[in-house]
């Protein structure tokens, strides 16, 4: 099994919204990952952020299927926040205040570092700034 790929909000959005400019590319990455038997990992914070983005951009009709797939998928593992992860994220955020990174991004970076993940299905340049590979850039 290949190394897991972290899925960020913009990655989920690209997969879900056919009109997104990265939709085709995100689908290709998903297909290649399946062929290599790579799994995906995300966080509860990314799920929250994705639902908020879908709602804000008038794609609320996609939320139920998005949750059904992610919550019941054997290919996508969800990292749930606990006190320890939250505290580590606070420390990371405070240490990197010179960057305009969101708390959710910082949580993603902490999770990725702990799990030695390198690739993120995202178009967010912040992942590159933090030393990861943004697969949709």
Q: In this structure, what are the phi and psi dihedrals at residue 48, rounded to the nearest 5 degrees? A: -60, -50
The predicted-structure confidence for 15-26, as pLDDT tens digits, reads as follows: 999 999 999 999
Tell me how far apart the alpha carbons of residues 71 and 65 are, in angstroms, rounded to a whole number. 10
pLDDT digits 0-9 by tens, 73-122? 999 999 999 999 999 999 999 999 999 999 999 999 999 999 999 999 99
Does the CA dihedral 90-71-28-63 come out positive or negative? negative
Measured CA to CA, the distance from residue 81 to residue 111 in angstroms comes to 10
The pTM of the full predicted model, rounded to 2 decimals, is 0.96
CA proximity to 4, closest of 41, 47, 42, 45:
41
- Domains detected in the chain: 5-80+117-134 (3.40.50.1010)
119-121/76-79 β-pairing: unpaired
């Amino acid at each position: 099994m290949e190394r897991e790929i972290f899925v960020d909000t913009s990655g989920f959005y690209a997969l879900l919204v056919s009109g997104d400019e990265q939709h085709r590319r995100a689908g290709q990455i998903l297909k290649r990952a399946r062929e290599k038997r790579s799994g995906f990992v995300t966080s509860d914070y990314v799920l929250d952020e994705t639902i908020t983005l879908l709602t804000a951009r008038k794609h609320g009709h996609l939320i139920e299927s998005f949750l059904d797939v992610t919550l019941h998928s054997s290919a996508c593992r969800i990292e749930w926040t606990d006190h320890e992860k939250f505290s580590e994220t606070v420390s990371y955020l405070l240490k990197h205040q010179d960057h305009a990174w969101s708390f959710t991004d910082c949580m993603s970076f902490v999770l990725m570092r702990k799990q030695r993940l390198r690739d993120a299905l995202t178009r967010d340049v912040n992942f590159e700034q933090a030393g990861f590979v943004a697969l949709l850039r």
